[in-house]
Chains A and B, each alone.
Chain A
Amino acid sequence: MIKAIPKPIEEIIENVKDCDKLLIAGCDGCVTVCEAGGLKEAKILASALRLYFTQGGKQAQVDDTSLTRQCEKEYLAQLSDRIDQYDAVVSLACGCGVQYLAEMYDKKVIYPGVDTCFMGVNEERGLYSERCQACGRCILAETGGICPIARCSKRMLNGPCGGSDKGKCEVSKDVPCGWELIYERLKTVGQLDRFENPTVPKDWTTSRDGGPRKIVREDLRI
């Protein structure tokens, strides 16, 4: 799932300090799971902003809500009858949700309330780590189910580099060397022969290098 972290409140205040009526819109999708932008976080942020305005002697209305998913129009439509009353909306969805909200309500000022970080897994509550960079052409079959693009700091396709030390990445001792993991996993599953076979230069056109991406599934379109 997409992982995000709440933005520092000072940054949000800088954007909304002149507003009189504000809506904090959470999202029930990914950002709820990583506890960055669900209904709970929307309520906490709204309370904090109310406190900020009150302490400054300002009367401001701060409401909160959460939408099922901000990356789908039918759920964004839930705001259509009341969004006009607000000066601005702080969206706690990922970058996709923030943009789709702004696209749907194109006259409304929309501010982001989280920093969208990566696609990853929940190792433990409060501990999330990256697993996929959505390059658009999955190579996990060749690399023992561990992605070097997401897990090697240099996205090497023929690793490991000479900077790894005792199985850790040269960038940080807290980061396991992705290629050490791949080597050990290939050994475990009896596919070590794959390791010595050089991987040719990758076609990055399906990654962000090809420009903004779109999927058109004719089989699904009505």
Chain B
Amino acid sequence: MSAETPSKLQKMINSGNFAVTSEVGPPRSADGAIIEHKAMMIKDYVDAINVTDNQTSVCRLCSLAACIRIKQMGLEPVLQMVTRDRNRIAMQSDILGAASFGINNILCLTGDHQHFGDHASCANVFDLDSTQLAMCVRMMRDEGKLLGGWEFEVRPQMFIGAAANPFAGPNVAMRVSRLAKKVAAGVQFIQTQCIYNMDTIKTFMKMMVDRGLHEKVAILAGITPMKNVGMAKYMQKRVPGIDVPEEVVKRIGGVPKENQAEEGITLAVEQIEELKEVEGIRGFHIMAIEWEEKVPEIVERIGLYPRPQLA
């Protein structure tokens, strides 16, 4: 986590407090007011707000424009950027543009294959992958240089993040190695895939700690509350790379329908409380999918509200 940037998220992590982030998914229209509305709901409860980049390959209002809007609301955006849709010229151009508005956090992702989305017949790009995008941002920030060699004065001050999925098993050791590769590429913080299998995340973190990797990168644990048993079953069966143990489905399904949402929130809160004790976990990334209004309640219940105000 070497390079210091003006990122408020980085400051919170470095302060030793648990960091809290959440995300806003832009609309499938030109309605920017939706972004403001979602950001307003969570703004006092998080340190930074991720904006997804055409997640699940569904075309949406762009992450960069939404991040600028959030920045102009006086909040701290995390620009998610996938390498699926743009080549290195377009991505570096967007990074310079983001930095020109004072955006200081980027989450480097490869992105879901377009096969999942609403434009399955499109061409993909994948000029870079997520690791190479992180290398690219580091070069721009630390050397003031583009991949093409052009040198420039005003550098993007980006706190560099990436994703990790300990659950895309079965080989947890390979997932730790993959993360080590991202750290070597310059990644400073990680937001994990949604955690439901507590045994696997603990195994993963133990391996991270044994290798000392937890001191080189800040791990923010990804938490997505279940709205109902239908969602739990869908995540279990249909979403690649997500591991929902049977006991989670049973627990949510074991209460009356009208209480399932509450049970989902309680489960998320219990998970976070358990994860607070796991060495190397430096914060939480709460992805309440189309359920942003529940983020304040979760943050209050885990005792992380109000958010510390750092100088």
A residues whose Cβ falls under 8 Å from a Cβ of B: 153-167, 170-171, 180, 183, 192, 195-201, 204
Contact = CB atoms under 8 A, between A and B. Distances in A.
A155 B115 CA distance: 14
B129 A158 contact: yes
A154 B124 contact: yes
A162 B164 CA distance: 7
A120 B233 CA distance: 38
A171 B113 contact: yes
Contacts of B241: 162-165, 170
Interface in B163-210: 163-165, 168-171, 174, 177-178, 180-182, 184-185, 193
B136 A158 contact: no
A166 B124 contact: no
In the A-B complex, the 9 residue pairs with the smallest Cβ-Cβ separation, listed nearest first, are A162-B165, A158-B131, A156-B129, A170-B240, A198-B185, A163-B240, A201-B132, A165-B240, A163-B241
Contacts, number: 98
A159 B178 CA distance: 7
Contact of A183 (B84, B88, B112, B174): B174
Interface of B: 84, 88, 110-113, 115-116, 124, 126-132, 135-136, 147, 163-165, 168-171, 174, 177-178, 180-182, 184-185, 193, 240-241
B163 A162 contact: yes
A188 B171 CA distance: 15
Contacts of B185: 158, 198
A153 B124 CA distance: 10
A101 to B, nearest CB: 28
Given A154-B126, A171-B115, 13 more contacts: A154-B124, A157-B129, A157-B131, A158-B130, A161-B168, A163-B241, A171-B113, A180-B174, A183-B171, A195-B181, A197-B184, A198-B182, A198-B184
B252 to A, nearest CB: 22
A192 B124 CA distance: 29
Given A154-B84, A201-B147, A159 B129 contact: yes
B174 to A, nearest CB: 5
Given A156-B110, A162-B193, A170-B113, A198 B132 contact: yes
A161 B132 CA distance: 13
Contacts of B128: 201
Contacts of B184: 196-198
B113 A163 contact: yes
Contact of A180 (B124, B136, B171): B171
Contacts of B136: 201
A183 B131 CA distance: 17
B113 A153 contact: yes
Contacts of A197: 181, 184
A163 B184 CA distance: 22
A162 B82 CA distance: 13
B112 A158 contact: no
Contacts of A183: 171, 174, 177
23 contacts: A153-B113, A154-B113, A156-B130, A158-B131, A161-B168, A162-B164, A162-B241, A163-B112, A163-B165, A164-B241, A165-B168, A165-B169, A165-B240, A165-B241, A166-B170, A171-B115, A183-B174, A192-B177, A195-B177, A198-B131, A198-B185, A199-B132, A201-B127
Indicate the member of A158, A162, A165, A197 with the most B CB atoms within 10 Å. A162
A166 B169 contact: yes
Contacts of B129: 154, 156-159, 161
Nearest to A153: B113
A196 B124 contact: no
Contact of B132 (A153, A157, A164): A157
Contacts of A171: 113, 115
Contacts of B164: 162
A204 B127 contact: yes
A200 B193 CA distance: 25
Nearest to A173: B240
